[in-house]
Each structure stands twice: as C-alpha cells, then as structure tokens.
Structure 1
C-alpha cells in the first residue's frame, strides 16, 4: 500500500524587532536546509491575510517516514547559531507533523485557507463539499492534514500544556476573494475555524537538484 505524503506545518508570530532577521533566516537558510533533507519534496512560505499567526511554513514529504529518518534527526544536531536564535524567538508557535489525504484537485494557488476541523472529520461531508466546489472559478485544490501526535513534538517556545491535534483542511485558490468565500462555505459545512494566508514563495527538491 502506498504511504501517504506527509507535511510539516509550522505557524508562528514574531516580534517586530526580530522580524527582519527572522525572514532573512527563513528565506536564506531554513527552507533550503529542510528541503535538502532526504524525503522532503518542497518548502512553502505563507503570510497571514487574516490569521492568528502571521507566518506559516509548509514542508511536504514523500511520506511520514521522512520525519523518523536518520537524515531528519541529524538536521537537529547541526542547528546553526542563526537557527537556534530564531527558533527561540518564535511567539506562540505551532508545529504539527501530518499525513496528507483526500487530495482533491491539483496545483497551488496564490491564496490558502487553513480550516481547523474542531469536531474531527466527517469524510462523507468532506467528499460532498469537495465535489460541490470543483467547478467553482478560482478553486484550485484541497487536501486534508491529519496530525500525528507522536511526531508533532513542540517547538522550543510552544506551549506543551494544551496542544489539540485537530485535522486541518488546506484550501488553495487563485485569488483572495474566492479563497475567503469558499473557506466560509467550508467552515459552515464542516464546522471549522478559518485562517487565511497568501503565498510568499516556494522551493522544491527539483529546483535544488538543478542548482
């Protein structure tokens, strides 16, 4: 049986005084370091349009096994001083390692909605909703993220007291208004909270291979 793709989901705020250095680190060291790890396929950065945390990083992997590999664990023994400094300056961070399922559509749009499914997932309702929007102009794709509690260890400044492992639906759209409208519809149909983001940039393993 084919293993589902995995995704590392990291969202955070950062103090204004640290923001410039945080973005330099993310753009010029951190994403490339993570995508270079065996089994990682891409790293994508988003910035909040209307969300609790300003910055979101999504790292797709070939499977969840990428997060238990020797190469992945070795990355944490090679943390640069720059990485340690910025990881410890994250404000209210959230880290989840998730399995990807119920992929619908293909591609990535300029806007993303993250829908946290507070009462869990009703697969039948999700399928009905996905099929109902597939011809909507501006809809690109959607997929379900199911966090793995064992793999989702907290970041240095992440609270360990209450870390709900709710499934999340990622909704990708061509523009902001379509994303907002479809996210509101999905929130009502699936009992979800909505966070809205815009695409900043992406790095893929294929691009790294070509230098």
Structure 2
C-alpha cells in the first residue's frame, strides 16, 4: 500500500524528556483526532528516534495538496486548543515540509522509518528523481523493508499562523524528503551504508550530505479511527 494521497506533511522536532509523556498523550488523544477530522487528512503517523533521543518524525498523508491550505485547516492552525497552546512552545528545532508526493511504493506504515532530507544540485533535479525512482520501486520487495516514498516541498502561499507564532520561530523546511519504511532496522541501516551514502547520492545529482534520521513507530491513526 502506497501513501494515501498525492500530498504529505512531513515534520521533525525535538521534545525534552520531561515533556515527552504529556506530549505523546496530547498528540495521540487530541491532536491526531483533531487533524484527521479535517478535509483531506487521511492518515497520521508518529515515529520516535531509535537512539532514545529527543527527536520525532511525524507524517500526515493528505488526499490533495489543497488540504494544506483549506479554510478548515487554517482555522485550526490559527485557533489552537488550550492543550495545544501549552505544548507548542516545547516543539524545538521544528522542520515542517508541506510536500507533494513524487513517488510512493509499498507500505505507508512499518515498525521503523528512515528519513533523508536532501536537495538536488542546480539543474540535476530530473536526474536525481529518476535515479531515486529506480531504487524505490525495488526496495519494498527486499527482506526487512516495506515501503519507500519521495516527497518534494511545495509550500502553500499562506502567512504565519498562530501555532507558528507560539513556537516562537519560523519553521524550517526540507527541500526533498526520502522516507524508507521497514520492519527490520538493520535493513534500513544497510541502505544508508550502500545505496544511500553521501557519495552515492551525490553521484545521482544530490547536493552535499543529506540529513538522516532513524525512527521507531510510536503511533499511527487513520481517518475514522476512534480511540
């Protein structure tokens, strides 16, 4: 099963250990249901850093790119709940990429996820996309792997929201995002040490070293799920 739609919201942030339990309670029991009630939001998944650190990776799968600028979504971004208002300042080092799905193969949810945030060199975007497409078609069939998805940021033209202002900083964004999911962590590490080394990606047309993260599944919820 590929990602559920033509767009995705990919986010990374750090959460201090003393806030983690409340954060996951809020994120699971209020925030995910709130977002999945909005038009076009199909599935929400949260992974936590496998090294036990503070990092989280969150992926919302969206039916269309227009869901990122719908009146209903903007209304929520500009009127956060009291609980959201309390938690938002603790979302540190936020990277928030509003993307279009370029390619998606295999399963959208698995026990582990590896993310790479990268950019093509000038003039090399078509070559990089073609090279990654050839790889991610085959990866879901490998032992230990389940899905691979290539996203490209396309930020809607909307102003800063109340949630962004509460966090206190302008959100950064990735350029391109590669997400590889698997049920065996070592299979993901193997990709990083072979096809997805910095030099291999640069040979495909990527610019510099990617930002890489490895995560374990914390929570996944689809539209219509009720806790």
TM-score, normalized by the shorter chain, greater than 0.5: yes
For residues 61-96 of structure 1, what are the alpha-carbon distances to aligned partners after superposition, in whole Å with 9 as ceiling and x for unaligned? 101100111111121344111101111121111111
Contact preservation (8 Å) 2:111, 2:216: yes
Question: 2:147 matched to which residue of 1?
Answer: 141
Question: 1:182 matched to which residue of 2?
Answer: 191
1:13-92 correspondence runs (5 A)? 13-50=14-51, 54-92=55-93
For residues 179-206 of structure 1, what are the alpha-carbon distances to aligned partners after superposition, in whole Å with 9 as ceiling and x for unaligned? 2112333422324332101111111014
Contact preservation (8 Å) 1:140, 1:173: yes
RMSD: 2.6
State the distance in 1 between where 2:17 and 2:53 align.
15
Question: 1:102 matched to which residue of 2?
Answer: 103
**SS of the counterpart of 1:196?**
strand
For residues 117-160 of structure 1, what are the alpha-carbon distances to aligned partners after superposition, in whole Å with 9 as ceiling and x for unaligned? 24355122112322453542122111111112345868343643
Contact preservation (8 Å) 1:39, 1:63: yes
State the distance in 2 between where 1:27 and 1:151 align.
29
Question: 2:215 matched to which residue of 1?
Answer: 197
Task: Give the TM-score normalised by the residue count of structure 2.
Answer: 0.79
Contact preservation (8 Å) 2:107, 2:181: no
Give 1:33 shift. Answer: 0.6
Work out whether 1:125 is the aligned partner of 2:126: no
After the TM superposition, list the runs of 4 or more consecutive aligned residues in structure 1 that deviate by more than 6 angstroms: none
* Structure 2 portions without partners, runs of 5+: 203-209
State the distance in 1 between where 2:97 and 2:173 align.
10
Aligned residues: 205
State the distance in 2 between where 1:45 and 1:89 align.
17
* Structure 1 portions without partners, runs of 5+: none
State the distance in 1 between where 2:194 and 2:131 align.
12
State the distance in 2 between where 1:134 and 1:81 align.
41
State the distance in 2 between where 1:51 and 1:19 align.
12
